[in-house]
Structure 1
Amino acid sequence: MAMGGFMLVKNLLLLINFLSLLGGLILISGGGWIQSHQSEDALSAIVSSIATGAIVIGVFVTLVSFMGCFGAANERGILLKTYFGLLALLIIFQIAIGSAAYSKREDIPELVGEAWKDLYLNSNQTIQTIEAYFQCCGFHNTTDMAVPSTCQVSRFDLSNKTGCLDAVTNSLDGQLSTIGGAGLALGIIEFIGLIFSALLFRRIAQKERASDNLMNEAWRINRSKIQYGYQNYQYV
Structure 2
Amino acid sequence: MVDTSDLLPKTPRYLKVPLIILNTILWLLGIVLVACGGYALSKLSHLDDIINVSLPAGIIVIGVFFLVLTVVGCVVAYKEKLVGLVFYTVFMLILLVCLIGVGGGAFSYRNDAAKPIGTAWDKATNDERNIAQEFFDCCCWTDANSTCGSNCQVVNETGSVVPNLNKTTCNITVVDYVQKNLYVAGAAGVTVGVIEFISMLFALFLIVRICKNPRPKSYD
TM-score band (shorter)? 0.7 to 0.9
Moved beyond 6 Å, runs of 4+: none
Counterpart AA for 2:201: I
Q: Please report the TM-score for the alignment, with normalisation by the length of structure 2.
A: 0.78
Task: Give the aligned residue type for 1:144.
Answer: S
Structure with larger Rg = 1
Query: Does structure 1 conserve the Cα–Cα contact (< 8 Å) formed by 2:110 and 2:183?
Result: no
Separation in structure 2 between the aligned mates of residue 140 and residue 74 of structure 1, nearest angstrom: 61
Determine the structure 2 residue equivalent to 1:155: none
Please list every run of 5 or more consecutive structure 2 residues that lacks an aligned counterpart in the other structure. Answer: 1-8, 155-163
Distance 1:40 1:170 in 2: 16
RMSD of the TM alignment (CA)? Answer: 2.9
SS in 2 for 1:39: helix
Q: From 15, 37, 40, give the equivalent of 1:9.
A: 15
The percent identity for this pair of structures is: 28
- Distance in 1, matches of 2:73 and 2:121, equals 45
Please name the residue that 1:50 is paired with.
Answer: 55
* CA offsets 1:189-236 (integer angstroms, 9 cap, x no match): 00110111111122222231x749xxxxxxxxxxxxxxxxxxxxxxxx
Q: Closer, same or farther in 2 for the Cα pair 1:162/1:29, shift >3 Å?
A: closer
Say whether the 8 Å CA contact 2:127–2:149 is kept in structure 1: no
Partner residue, 1:65: 70
Match of 2:191 among 185, 189, 192: 185
Q: Tell me the residue number matched to 2:120.
A: 115
Give deviations 1:88-120, integer Å, cap 9, x for gaps.
Answer: 222122213322333323442122212322445
In the TM superposition, 1:114-133 aligns within 5 A as 114-119=119-124, 121-132=126-137
Indicate the structure whose relative CO is greater, using CA pairs within 8 Å and at least 6 residues apart: 2
Q: Verify the 8 A CA contact 2:27 2:66 in the aligned structure 1.
A: yes
In structure 2, relative to structure 1, the CA distance for the partners of 1:175 and 1:202 (3 Å cut) is: same
Decide whether the 8 Å contact of 1:43 with 1:116 is kept in 2: yes
TM-score by length of 1: 0.73
Aligned-residue offset at 1:49: 1.2
Work out the CA distance in 2 between the residues paired with 1:24 and 1:127. Answer: 30
SS of 2:119's partner is helix
CA distance, structure 2, for counterparts of residue 19 and residue 73 of structure 1: 16
Asked if 1:204 corresponds to 2:206, the answer is no
| Residue matched to 1:79 | 84
8 Å Cα contact 2:23-2:73 kept in structure 1: yes
Shift of 1:147: 4.8
Larger mean CA deviation between 54-63 and 138-147 belongs to: 138-147
Matched length: 201
Are the aligned partners of 2:140 and 2:149 in contact in 1 as well (CA < 8 Å)? yes
Matches within 5 A, 1:209-224: 211=216
Residue 103 in 1 paired to residue 111 in 2?
A: no
- Contact kept, 8 Å, 1:68 with 1:80, in 2: the verdict is yes
Structure 2 CA distance for partners of 1:131 and 1:78, relative to 1, 3 Å: closer
SS at match of 1:78: helix
Q: Note the residue ranges of structure 1 that are not aligned, 5 or more in a row.
A: 153-157, 213-236
Please tell me whether the aligned partners of residues 129 and 148 of structure 2 are also in contact (alpha carbons under 8 angstroms).
no
Cα distance change, pair 64–149 in 1 and its aligned pair in 2 (3 A) = closer
CA distance in 2, matches of 1:190, 1:43: 33
Letter in 2 for 1:125: N
Q: Give the Å deviation of 1:67.
A: 1.9
Task: Return the letter of the residue paired with 2:36.
Answer: G
Per residue, is there more helix in 1 or in 2?
Answer: 1
- Contact 2:106–2:183 (8 Å) recurs in 1: no
